[in-house]
C-alpha cells in the first residue's frame, strides 16, 4: 500500500471514529422511539454527513499525485518530440509554480518516476 493510500486509510479511520460520538448523540435523543428507529435515523444522519467526508477522502486531488500531460513537447531528457508528462505535485514534491516546467516522453517519464520513488517520493 503506497503512502497516499495509507494517508487516505488513516483519514478514513479517523473519520470512522468521529462518527461514533455524533451517532451516539442521535441515539440518545431518539432513545424513546425504540432501538430500530433510533438506529435507522442515526445511520441516515451519518450517511448525510459522512458521504461528503468519505467522498473527499477517496477522491480528493489534494491526496493524489497531480500530473500534467501535453500532446507535443520536446522531452527535456532525450530531446524526442512526443506526448509529454510531468509530475506537478506529490507528497514532498511541488512544482506548481515552475516557470519552465520539464516535460518528458513516456520512457523518460518512467525513468524519472523511478528516481523520485528511490528518493522516497510516492508517485
25-78 pLDDT, tens per residue?
A: 999 999 999 999 999 999 999 999 999 998 888 877 666 677 889 999 999 999
Cβ–Cβ < 8 Å for 85, 67: yes
Confidence of residue 108 (pLDDT cuts 50, 70, 90): very high
pTM: 0.49
- E strand spans, the chain: 66-74, 81-90, 93-94
Amino acid at each position: 500500500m503506497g503512502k497516499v493510500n495509507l494517508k487516505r486509510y488513516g483519514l478514513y479511520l479517523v473519520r470512522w471514529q468521529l462518527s461514533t460520538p455524533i451517532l451516539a448523540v442521535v441515539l440518545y435523543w431518539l432513545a424513546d422511539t425504540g432501538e430500530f428507529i433510533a438506529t435507522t435515523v442515526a445511520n441516515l444522519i451519518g450517511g448525510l454527513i459522512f458521504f461528503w467526508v468519505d467522498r473527499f477522502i477517496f477522491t480528493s486531488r489534494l491526496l493524489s499525485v497531480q500530473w500534467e500531460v501535453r500532446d507535443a513537447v520536446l522531452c527535456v531528457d532525450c530531446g524526442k518530440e512526443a506526448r509529454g508528462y510531468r509530475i506537478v505535485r506529490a507528497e514532498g514534491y511541488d512544482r506548481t509554480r515552475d516557470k519552465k516546467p520539464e516535460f518528458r516522453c513516456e520512457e523518460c517519464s518512467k525513468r524519472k518516476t523511478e528516481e523520485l520513488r528511490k528518493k522516497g517520493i510516492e508517485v
